[in-house]
């Protein structure tokens, strides 16, 4: 049984608590089912080792041009659609969406293709961390608009745990039009969605669907240390490798999420590379906005924490506070938020802020929808009895 600091950033299973060593396994509990959808973040990056564009795309490139996608600038002059139609929303949004090319500075050929969108008129672009991670240390980044203009870009800040990154265009052009931001808290299941991205390198691709679920706890990773947790918006709009970091829009054209992960029946690269089966997950824009603002301000993310180490592999009943932390340290930080709320090792957290908790990853997903200083009601079980308490969230800065 692995454990990780709730609200912290654990590596891939076996998870590591408080950035230390794995917690010794304890007796397994019966799994009664879970809500956490384990998804491969890297599958959404098209190109290179960080998420291969795949055999099909490589073959296509050998046979002709890399893309036959018509840019928005090529739309007929008479193009006009009634406001609220998908065509009208897409025509307005496309000029503010970019295709991102990331190239590693260490491994030749490593990199990928993803998507981002204009956040402000200063040239900030919001995308996923996993889209730009391979180029963050000494690599190169570029952003191409729908009319073909390409600009070099640099990383302003990255948040691995949230899977959010902010870039800034070098020599940003004047007249940039940021996409309007919606309110993801007001999104309802059944609402229409529009996704824009570069699936398999096909820039300026528009797909549609609905919100098929809310508050879906998703733990995603690339098989290494790059894990992220989100209480996601689930959509059936077609999302594929290369859509990562692109906007999920509502029917009015406002951003309600950042497309970040998919559930797939397959995985890997080449002919078997994962693709859309109608289960896509987006980071709610309210959370993404908070993270983006922090990254623009300081370059580093801030994570809310409860100051306790929880088991990460148990699913079904709740998130159990581990008996001990990393290297035999205390699993509940002395004078930390959990300790002040009266929580102890062995307590099983079953509810957080009114949402059911079935596992450690689910708890982290819910914690990270809040901000440091928020007061949140926790429901937990101890010795077969249910109790409630209120925790005031602490904070941790940075991903290391």
Q: Which of 251, 271, 124 is nearest to 191 (CA)?
A: 251
User: Which residue in the block uniquely carries the two structure tokens 């009664």?
Assistant: 32
User: Which residue in the block uniquely carries the two structure tokens 């739309």?
Assistant: 75
Selecting among 5, 67, 124, 130, the annotated active-site residue is 130
Does residue 208 sit in helix, strand or coil? strand
Catalytic residue flag (residue 130): yes
What is the rounded CA–CA span in Å between residue 247 and residue 237?
12
Q: Find out whether 265 and 303 touch, Cβ atoms under 8 Å.
A: no
What is the rounded CA–CA span in Å between residue 208 and residue 192?
7
Selecting among 72, 212, 244, 260, the annotated active-site residue is 244
User: Which residue in the block uniquely carries the two structure tokens 């008129």?
Assistant: 121
* Residue 183, token pair as written in the block: 């309110």
Q: Find out whether 181 and 126 touch, Cβ atoms under 8 Å.
A: no
Q: Find out whether 4 and 315 touch, Cβ atoms under 8 Å.
A: no
Q: Who's near 119: CB < 8 A, 6+ residues apart? A: 125, 126, 166, 178, 179, 292
Q: Who's near 383: CB < 8 A, 6+ residues apart? A: none
- Provide the total of helices (H) and of strands (E) in the chain, helices listed first: 6, 22
Selecting among 163, 222, 236, 250, the annotated active-site residue is 163
User: Which residue in the block uniquely carries the two structure tokens 């307590």?
Assistant: 347
Residues annotated catalytic, as ranges: 130, 163, 244
């Amino acid at each position: 049984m692995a454990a990780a600091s709730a609200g912290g950033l654990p590596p891939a299973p076996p998870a590591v608590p408080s950035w230390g060593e794995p917690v010794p396994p304890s007796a397994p509990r019966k799994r009664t089912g879970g809500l956490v959808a384990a998804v491969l973040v890297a599958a959404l990056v098209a190109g290179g080792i960080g998420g291969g564009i795949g055999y099909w795309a490589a073959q296509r490139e050998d046979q002709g041009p890399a893309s036959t996608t018509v840019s928005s600038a090529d739309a007929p002059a008479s193009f006009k659609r009634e406001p609220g139609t998908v065509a009208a929303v897409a025509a307005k949004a496309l000029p503010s969406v970019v295709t991102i090319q990331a190239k590693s500075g260490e491994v030749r050929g490593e990199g990928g293709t993803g998507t981002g969108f204009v956040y402000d008129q200063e040239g900030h672009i919001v995308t996923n961390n996993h889209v730009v991670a391979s180029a963050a240390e000494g690599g190169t980044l570029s952003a191409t608009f729908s009319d073909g203009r390409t600009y070099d870009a640099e990383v302003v800040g990255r948040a691995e745990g949230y899977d959010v990154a902010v870039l800034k265009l070098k020599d940003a052009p004047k007249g940039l039009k940021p996409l309007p931001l919606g309110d993801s808290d007001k999104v309802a299941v059944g609402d229409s969605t529009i996704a824009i991205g570069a699936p398999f390198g096909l820039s300026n691709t528009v797909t549609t669907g609905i919100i098929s679920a809310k508050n879906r706890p998703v733990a995603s990773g690339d098989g290494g240390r790059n894990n992220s947790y989100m209480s996601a918006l689930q959509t059936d709009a077609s999302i594929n490798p290369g859509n990562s970091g692109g906007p999920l829009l509502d029917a009015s054209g406002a951003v309600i999420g950042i497309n970040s992960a998919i559930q797939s029946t397959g995985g890997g690269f080449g002919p078997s590379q994962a693709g859309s089966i109608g289960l896509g997950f987006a980071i709610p824009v309210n959370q993404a906005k908070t993270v983006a603002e922090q990254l623009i301000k300081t370059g580093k993310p801030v994570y809310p924490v409860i100051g306790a180490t929880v088991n990460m592999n148990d699913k079904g009943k709740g998130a159990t506070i581990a008996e001990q932390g990393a290297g035999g340290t205390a699993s509940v930080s002395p004078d930390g938020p959990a300790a002040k709320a009266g929580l102890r090792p062995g307590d099983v957290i079953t509810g957080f802020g009114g949402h059911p908790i079935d596992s450690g990853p689910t708890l982290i997903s819910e914690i990270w929808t809040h901000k440091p200083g928020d007061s949140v009601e926790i429901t937990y079980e101890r010795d077969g009895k249910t109790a409630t308490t209120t925790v005031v969230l602490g904070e941790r800065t940075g991903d290391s």
